[in-house]
Amino acid sequence: MTSPVRGLAPKNSDFRLRLAEAGVTPLWDVMATLVTERPQPQERAVHWSYDGLRPLLLEAGQAVSAEQAERRVLILENPGLPEGRRATNSLYAGLQLVLPGEIAPVHRHSQSALRFILESSGAYTAVDGEKVVMSPFDLVLTPSMRWHEHGNETDAPAGWLDGLDIPTVLHFNSGFAERDPHEGAPAFIPVGDSSRRYGRNLRPVRGTTADRNVRNHPLFHYPYAEWREALEDTALNSAPDPHVGCRMEFINPFTAGPVLPTISAFVQRVPAGMSTRRLRSTDGTVWVVVEGQGKMSVGDSVYDLAIRDLIVAPSWQPVHFEATTDLILFAYSDRGAQEKLDLWQERRE
């Protein structure tokens, strides 16, 4: 009878070789890296200036056409995830450009997407045939497997931040994409129809003729003018939270949950002169500065903030704001997905 193996066993021992031949690995070798005491993200805090990237984005417009690229986008690569094509471990971020007269062709895919508009004087997105005209700092959604295209009938370039759950879909090997054979088909649903039906704290009764087949994602346009007013009214009628100032979440009116199953989206107001307390959370987050000036600390990194700047805060890195003037920010993260999996946590310091 063979005596039990004691200790860690040398790497080249007969026991180790037999384990390898059997296609198994001893947990005791890797336990500390698989079950960690706290989140240990590979992604880093990183800051991009939109004003600095915009010339490269416009140059991309001369280097490749919308038809050639299908989507003309510069991916925001996190330096902690080299060639990972992602901003955080679970989220993608990119800057998309549509030039005057262009149409980004119709397609659909498993990946859910949001568009946070950085500049537009009237470019549009169409989702399942319904157009919305986009203004700066609007939030526009293209939920999973919904036909969508982008177009620009103005005389000025349009650019926005794309946020997608591409890494999450890749993790599950569940991605599909299709191209519409009727490329550039005209809209067949009146502009603003979704907002009129589903955006006023009412919805058509399920199964009636007024109820459109929107597959549990009835709204896809959240205009800046509307969310900014709601944020301001709430902030002025509430005591500021010491860790965030005033923070509000965009919601799906069917579920009252996050706007997309895998992506949550937020806006935040930090009043002038406020220095927030440090806040940690398990959701890696991509931030955009909408208004104001100040500083943002992510872990040991400190960034001076300007309008349209983009910042990544990795999981569990403490975040802190100092507002010189009223700071208005947009953010998206995987919090909604983490909450569904009972994983999300935060710590207020």
Domains and CATH numbers, the chain: 48-221 (2.60.120.10), 222-348 (2.60.120.10)
Closest CA relative to residue 232, chosen from 342, 333, 326, 335: 326
> What does the pLDDT read at residue 183?
56
- DSSP-derived letter for residue 98 is E
Q: Which pLDDT band, with edges at 50, 70 and 90, does 181 fall under?
A: low
Question: In the predicted model, what is the mean pLDDT of the chain?
Answer: 92
| Residues 135 and 119 sit within 8 Å (Cβ to Cβ) | no
Summarize the confidence of residues 48-64 as an average pLDDT. 96
Residue 159: which H helix or E strand, with range? strand 158-164
Summarize the confidence of residues 198-210 as an average pLDDT. 77
What is the per-residue pLDDT across 136-171, written as a single tens digit (0 to 9) for each?
999 999 999 999 999 999 999 999 999 999 999 999
> What does the pLDDT read at residue 1?
45
Closest CA relative to residue 48, chosen from 89, 114, 93: 93
What is the per-residue pLDDT across 91-131, written as a single tens digit (0 to 9) for each?
999 999 999 999 998 999 999 999 999 999 999 999 988 99
Closest CA relative to residue 284, chosen from 223, 229, 225, 334: 334
Range of lowest pLDDT (129-143, 193-207, 275-289): 193-207
Give the global pTM: 0.92
Residues in the chain: 349
User: Which structure tokens are listed for 109?
Assistant: 């895919």
> What does the pLDDT read at residue 198?
83
